[in-house]
Chain A
Amino acid sequence: MNEWAAIWVNLILILAVLFAFSAMLSWIERRLLGLWQDRYGPNRVGPFGVLQIVADSIKLLTKEDWIPPFADRAVFVLAPAIVAVTTLLAFAVVPIAPGIGVVDLNIGLLFFLAMSSLGVYSIVLGGWASNNKYSLLGGFRAAAQMLSYEVFMGLALMGVVMLAGSFNLRDIVAAQENLWFCIPQILGLATFAVAGIAEARRLPFDLPESENELVAGFHTEYSSMKFGMFFIGEYVGITLISAMIVTLFFGGWLGPLLPPLVWFLLKTFIVIVCFILLRAALPRPRYDQLMTYGWKVMLPVTLVNLLITGAVVLSAA
């Protein structure tokens, strides 16, 4: 009974915090971008503009929820739900702190990879169902991009698995008691971070959206809360990837003095800020550059990392 209650409390609290955080993230991102561009960013609604997101959600909710007459209705409606659901499901396995977390799967990492692979369907379906050439191009790009980057995303994590000897995320955190994997797995970290950004379709890898070529890419035809779902999905996605990076490479909740939860949140937040900084600083690559980078640089680097890690683990054994 108690167990169930704990799970439910966990679940609801995590969901609430996650949603609140993702929502706040849009404000944080805009404030940070503003700061890095010598502006203020949204600072009018509430103290420091924190209520901007409230204003934005009211706006999004009251906008006309329009489905184009030429769209494939069912798929069009379904697509934004998929992205929200898969990213949220993936979050279930994230070990936030001892005792905090939805489930403790012993194949947690694989579950995470599976869920993030499913997420691509949302984009592809949304782009296809819109029946708009820009959306369709966005969908194509998403499909190709996800496919290419997922290959080494999984491989990049194999080093960590080898070192930890487990797919269970809590075990992996525990394995970093002495040394965070960011040191031995520096290459893995670099490749996973890149793949993660690409999976979350964040700048500089937002080619499926690329406003200046494709209007708004896969979500050109989306309005109101359906657009909002894509939007939330993206921010939950960033949070997820950041949480995974922290879990896999920066020791998760581990840290001195402060409680584990605070450490986890702090580390995650720093990674998110780095992602936003990336957006502020780097331009979007050309599509062919993106592909070249994925297949000709990142994949070999990942394989090299795997080789070295394997060799080290073998020799240590």
Chain B
Amino acid sequence: MWNSLKTMWIVFLHMFHRRATIQYPDEKPNIPPRWRGRIILSRDPDGEERCVACYLCAAACPVDCIALQATEDEHERRYPEFFRINFSRCIFCGYCEEACPTDAIQLTPDFEMGEYNRKNLVYEKEDLLIDGPGKYPGYNFYRVAGITIGGKNKGEAENEAPPVDPHSLLP
């Protein structure tokens, strides 16, 4: 009984404490960079699309709101032909970012995405693609992958030996 009354008194005293609420939107909150907000597609340090259309984000997505189609340029560099996110379904769980093997898909601190028309929440690749590397500067998947793309032949990636010559008999 006494305990309950004491609790009530303590709670009552909170009336005179400072408010913890930030008065959004009059007052803009300070959002950390790892906030899980609007999803973007980043570019590698060479300015090319980072996304290699591996479909892992789509597979990881618990609400199935990512769809894409892989295609290749003339040098067999793979990229998404289209990349679509339905933000009216997205729950901003960040699984897509965790699944992404190339740091292409990233969640950003922007969360102000309200729309009156749900259709406007369907983002295509043009809407998602940004110009920079986002949170992860420096990483370029194709520099460490074994496949050949325009401007990078076999043996030219990081930590690769020159290609074996199958016609040579030298040990």
Contact = CB atoms under 8 A, between A and B. Distances in A.
Nearest to B14: A36
A36 B11 contact: yes
B113 interface: no
A280 interface: yes
Interface stretch (B18-26, B123-131, B134-142, B161-169): B18-26
Contact of A39 (B4, B11, B12, B21): B21
A38 B19 contact: yes
Nearest to B18: A38
A278 interface: yes
Interface string B1-34: 0001001101110110111110100000000000
A35 B7 contact: no
B11 A280 contact: yes
Contacts of B18: 38
A232 B14 CA distance: 28
A282 B12 CA distance: 12
A40 interface: yes
Contacts, number: 33
B4 A38 contact: no
A219 to B, nearest CB: 27
**Most A Cβ at <10 Å: residue of B11, B18, B23:** B11
B12 A277 contact: yes
A168 B12 CA distance: 36
A285 to B, nearest CB: 11
A106 interface: no
B31 to A, nearest CB: 19
Interface string A32-46: 000111111000000
Contact of B8 (A39, A40, A277): A277
A277 B12 CA distance: 7
B11 A281 contact: yes
Nearest to B20: A38
A38 B14 contact: yes
Nearest to B6: A281
A291 B72 CA distance: 71
A140 to B, nearest CB: 27
A251 to B, nearest CB: 23
Contacts of B23: 40
B112 to A, nearest CB: 17
A39 B7 contact: no
A193 to B, nearest CB: 12
B17 A282 contact: no
21 contacts: A35-B15, A36-B11, A36-B14, A36-B15, A37-B14, A38-B14, A38-B20, A38-B21, A39-B20, A39-B21, A40-B19, A277-B11, A277-B12, A280-B11, A281-B4, A281-B7, A281-B8, A281-B11, A282-B4, A282-B7, A282-B8
Given A38-B14, A40-B21, A282-B4, 13 more contacts: A36-B11, A36-B12, A38-B17, A38-B18, A38-B21, A40-B23, A277-B8, A277-B11, A277-B12, A278-B8, A281-B7, A281-B8, A281-B11
